[in-house]
Amino acid sequence: MSEVLTRVEGRTGLLSLNRPRAIHALTLDMVRAMTVALLAWRDDPAVGAVMIDHAVDPAGDPKLSRGFCAGGDINLLRQSALSDGGALGRRFFYEEYQLNHLIFAYGGGEDGKPVVAFMDGITMGGGVGISGPAGLRVATENTRLAMPESGIGLFPDVGGGWYLSRLAGRLGQYLALTGARLDGAECVWAGLATHYLPAQSLSEAKARIIAGEAPEAVFNALSVTPPAPALADHAADIARLFASDRLEDILAALEEDSGAFAARTLATIRTKSPTTCKVALRQLATSLTLPDFAANMAMEYRIGSRVLMLPDFAEGVRAVIVDKDNAPAWSPPRPEQVTEAMLDAIFAPLSALEEWKPL
């Protein structure tokens, strides 16, 4: 069975992720299959819209249908870092980022073909990469969105620098450092989702779009008012505590705050890789200075090419995914040991032949 189901129904191209036992985590073959389909549909007048969702387990097991996309193929990346000098990992990043940019170009509406992403269930890492650039992003009561990369020695890539840096009130910095999960209501509140539908309405929404109705009109008709976003209660705290682009300043602000929210947040960040926390803060600050999404992706590819080979990545994946002892030994272990020179080397341009380019 194909790991991505691609088809055209009516005037709608459909991409359904189909690795249910891995919560539809993206492989290189999946990235390539989606790219091929999108390129074929881009100039096809018979395709007027694109929908991205996840396939439902044919046996009806809810445990195998609990997520949109749990991320990228982390084990592939780790094995590449350990065995081939990161060559395959860099190839994965390169083509994945081209897919992200291709969806962004569609989602911008320049060619008049809206892209809809149904973020029903777990939507993390690479799942944000293929939903974030869509012009229409549907959350449900099942949505759990996060960019948890700092916990495995990575950074919020796949366009995370672009999306997170543009959220209000330093929310992006909070999400990048903590890996906090947002539910569907919080995604709408933050601007990471455009619509909120009950999960039971998704089948009707898809059928109406396939039948020829405009996607946004369908969502406007079927959307409901989401619950109150719990994280909104801490928006002022986040804006104040994460005001700096220096990790040391953020940690100091959290240490000085006597509130329970600050204490929980501080404890969470203390478990993350100091190097990639600092990378993420610079990534978000730099993204705001860039002219377009393509420039952001070129920056993230430079970072990814280097971070992939740092010791924290292999160690983070070992601790969280392989051995599951959740006790990574970060190197260096303290934020003050991660110097500006180290960050400069991670962000430096690649050679002309190595630099990332869009399709």
| Cα Rg of the chain, angstroms | 20
Q: Active site includes 85?
A: no
CA distance 125 to 70: 7
| Distant-in-sequence, close-in-space partners of 152: CB < 8 Å, separation ≥ 6 | 74, 273, 313, 316, 317, 319, 320, 321
Which residues, listed in sequence order, are joined to residue 115 by a DSSP beta bridge? 50
Catalytic choice (53, 73, 96, 149) = 149
| Distant-in-sequence, close-in-space partners of 70: CB < 8 Å, separation ≥ 6 | 22, 23, 24, 25, 122, 124, 125, 126, 127
Q: In 10 A of CB 288, how many CB atoms?
A: 11
Q: Active site includes 186?
A: no
Catalytic choice (13, 107, 126, 129) = 126
Q: In 10 A of CB 220, how many CB atoms?
A: 10
> What are residue 23's phi and psi, to 5 degrees?
50, 40
Catalytic choice (120, 157, 186, 300) = 157
Q: Active site includes 126?
A: yes
In contact, 80 and 72? CB cutoff 8 Å: no
Q: Is 8 helix (H, G, I), strand (E, B) or coil?
A: strand
Tokens 């860039």 found at: 290
Token readout for 205 is: 């929404």
In contact, 176 and 147? CB cutoff 8 Å: yes
Catalytic choice (48, 72, 160, 304) = 72
CA distance 208 to 12: 11
In contact, 20 and 57? CB cutoff 8 Å: yes
Exposed/middle/buried for residue 97 (C-beta within 10 Å: 0-12, 13-18, 19+) = buried
Task: Classify residue 289 by its DSSP letter.
Answer: T
Exposed/middle/buried for residue 331 (C-beta within 10 Å: 0-12, 13-18, 19+) = middle
Report DSSP letters for 167-212, one per residue.
SGGGHHHHHHHH-PPEEHHHHHHHTS-SEE--GGGHHHHHHHHHTT
Q: Active site includes 72?
A: yes
| Residues catalogued as catalytic | 72, 126, 149, 157
